[in-house]
Structure 1
Amino acid sequence: MFAAARIQRRAFSASARDLSKVTVLGAAGGIGQPLSLLLKLNPRVSELALYDIRGGPGVAADISHVNTKSTVKGYQPGAEGLSEALKGAKVVLIPAGVPRKPGMTRDDLFNTNASIVRDLAKAVAESAPDANILVISNPVNSTVPIVKEVFKARGVYNPKRLFGVTTLDVVRASRFVSEIESTDPKDEEITVVGGHSGVTIVPLFSQSKHPKLTSNAELVNRVQFGGDEVVKAKDGAGSATLSMAFAGARMADSVLRAADGEKGVIEPTFVESPLYADKGIEFFSSKVELGPEGVSKILPVGEVDAAEEALLEACFVDLKKNIAKGVSFVASSL
């Protein structure tokens, strides 16, 4: 089935008052282009604003020919174009940054992408401080704290409006399980918590229909390092762009549905969380119920088995360092 079909079905009955402006920062990149296309197919999006340091207007011209009702505009690079792209946005997605190459970890991307996200966050804080911000740029474990610190410095931080997009980890987990069990991925609800890189990604198979999979070390590793699989297969030509675009579009659709008053919208996402604050971990990805205000309720992790408890302990070590790295970057660069 066409990848956007589920998004289209959910949003098809959107009324005129539900329609919203959505802005993509990094719209001409490997994630940005397919993400923008999927958003063009979503009837909840009335206005699609596309910005990049190069190529934004061209991508907008191309996507604008797709025969759905939303308008599309590409903005020229620079402070003025960026500000105009952001004004009035209900949702801002940030996929901007450089992709991983073979042998690179998400942390290797830090220095370049951290600066990009910091500068874009400054613009969002000035022009769209009340928007829901969906951060895709890696390493998410560090870039989300960067956005928080930038917003805090400008007095506009709202923890309910800031999300790290970790949906791809759940998308991958459900697909990988369906391959093993010969089932339909849509019937596989796999909880994935923690962060969005390597060992910080913790799939909780004990809470699924297939609790025995918790002992499948190969599967756990594949969920944690699925991005490496794509980087290797692309042989230096990029990282996970199409699947990430799908995950980002799904998350944006959920945020828009909840903003329009739909009840019971739950997505996994990396947010400021109290779940492990006692361990010094300020951000954590878990199931979050969304609402008109953004984060409505952060759901508990629930019971885990011994193997998953060990995975969580390993997650905490790296995740705490990743978060601190983002905070320190802003402290030394603002």
Structure 2
Amino acid sequence: MVKAVVLGASGGIGQPLSLLCKASPLIDELALYDVVNTPGVAADLSHISSIAKISGYLPKDDGMKHALTGADICIIPAGIPRKPGMTRDDLFKINAGIVQGLIKGIAEFCPNSFILVISNPVNSTVPIAAETLKQAGVFNPKKLFGVTTLDVVRAETFVQDITGERDPSKTVIPVIGGHSGETIVPLFSQAKPTVEIPQDKYDDLVHRVQFGGDEVVKAKDGAGSATLSMAYAGFRFAERLLKASKGESGIVEPTFVYLPGIDGGDAIAKETGCDYFSVPVELGQSGAEKATNPLGNVTEKEKQLIEAAIKGLKGNIEKGVEFVKNPPPPAQK
């Protein structure tokens, strides 16, 4: 029996993500939680003829406790979306508090569950989650993941124009670093099968992977950000983690993790100077079982991209840690 919880289930990412979870044969029970509209979303999804039994909760009447109790996997897309002209960093103050509140709930009601953080900015919200779990004495680095799969999905999709591959997901491209702008580093040199990127197209392709979110924000003309593709990417990662947790072997996915807590992660942390970094991670029954170091086999251009990523990441990570260790004063009303 697998119980999955979507925290922030009524939002632009939360609804399509909940739909994908409801349709999945891997999930037996699905609990939805949000501050508005959750019972309605759950009622709508409950009419779908699939395995998962579904329930929806609001904060009142111990809703968070009911949603989280017994959870095996918690997926967190909660937060406000990016608006035009807004960087992921602008989202920080609002989304940091939202994520921290939800993580405190997980620490109390389902501390052994897998935790998948989608809420932006992931480079900071994952350290916030880790520090909050540490304070509660229940931090397990193997079970906390920052979902960077959208960057992987974009890299696979955008390179299709060059490869001509009918199914872009058949091209495996490691994307490392973080999950915003220049911290995102697609390693096209390590693509399988091999991809030859024409020199005159390389910079534009990298930029498109790094700033694909801006493309969507602009196209939606102020009416939203990348919600559907993010829901797909979040579900894809959750599905692969669930398969690995049920014993399927050989599943490797890039994800933003706390490196010192994962086998093979220490060397990467020393090399990058970052405790958190997205690298290909072998998933298994305990969660993140082994981090793969992709840094020894990169091109000169990729080396430059990694250096820029590390510079940006260090500040993002520090910001998240600081938010928990020295909380900002409450806003004046």
- TM-score, structure 1 as length reference: 0.92
In structure 2, distance between residues paired with 1:304 and 1:267: 18
In structure 2, distance between residues paired with 1:71 and 1:120: 22
The answer to whether the 8 Å contact 1:56/1:74 transfers is yes
Deviations 1:170-212 (A, max 9, x none): 1000000002332220221111100000000000111121143
1:240/1:214 CA distance change after superposition, 3 Å: farther
In structure 2, distance between residues paired with 1:314 and 1:107: 17
Q: Percent identity?
A: 57
In structure 2, distance between residues paired with 1:256 and 1:186: 19
Which residue is 1:240 aligned to?
226
In structure 1, distance between residues paired with 2:99 and 2:58: 18
Equivalent position to 1:153, from 107, 112, 135: 135
Which residue is 1:318 aligned to?
312
Q: Indicate the larger mover: 215-224 or 24-33.
A: 215-224
Equivalent position to 1:256, from 205, 229, 242: 242
Q: 1:150 aligns to what SS in structure 2?
A: helix
Alignment of 1:82-231 (within 5 A): 82-184=64-166, 185-208=168-191, 209-213=194-198, 216-231=202-217
- Offset, 1:53: 0.3
The answer to whether the 8 Å contact 2:28/2:53 transfers is yes
In structure 2, distance between residues paired with 1:139 and 1:278: 23
Deviations 1:139-184 (A, max 9, x none): 0000000000000001000000000000010100000000233222
- Offset, 1:213: 5.0
The answer to whether the 8 Å contact 2:153/2:169 transfers is no
The answer to whether the 8 Å contact 2:147/2:256 transfers is yes
The answer to whether the 8 Å contact 1:206/1:213 transfers is no
In structure 1, runs of 5+ residues without a counterpart are 1-18
1:320/1:179 CA distance change after superposition, 3 Å: same
Q: 1:333 aligns to what SS in structure 2?
A: coil
Deviations 1:95-137 (A, max 9, x none): 0000001111100100000010011111110011000000000
Q: 1:219 aligns to what SS in structure 2?
A: helix
1:79/1:312 CA distance change after superposition, 3 Å: farther
Q: Let me know the Cα RMSD of the aligned residues.
A: 1.3
The answer to whether the 8 Å contact 1:113/1:138 transfers is yes
Deviations 1:53-91 (A, max 9, x none): 011111000011111021000012247110110011110
In structure 1, distance between residues paired with 2:326 and 2:213: 30
- Offset, 1:300: 1.2
In structure 1, distance between residues paired with 2:2 and 2:214: 35
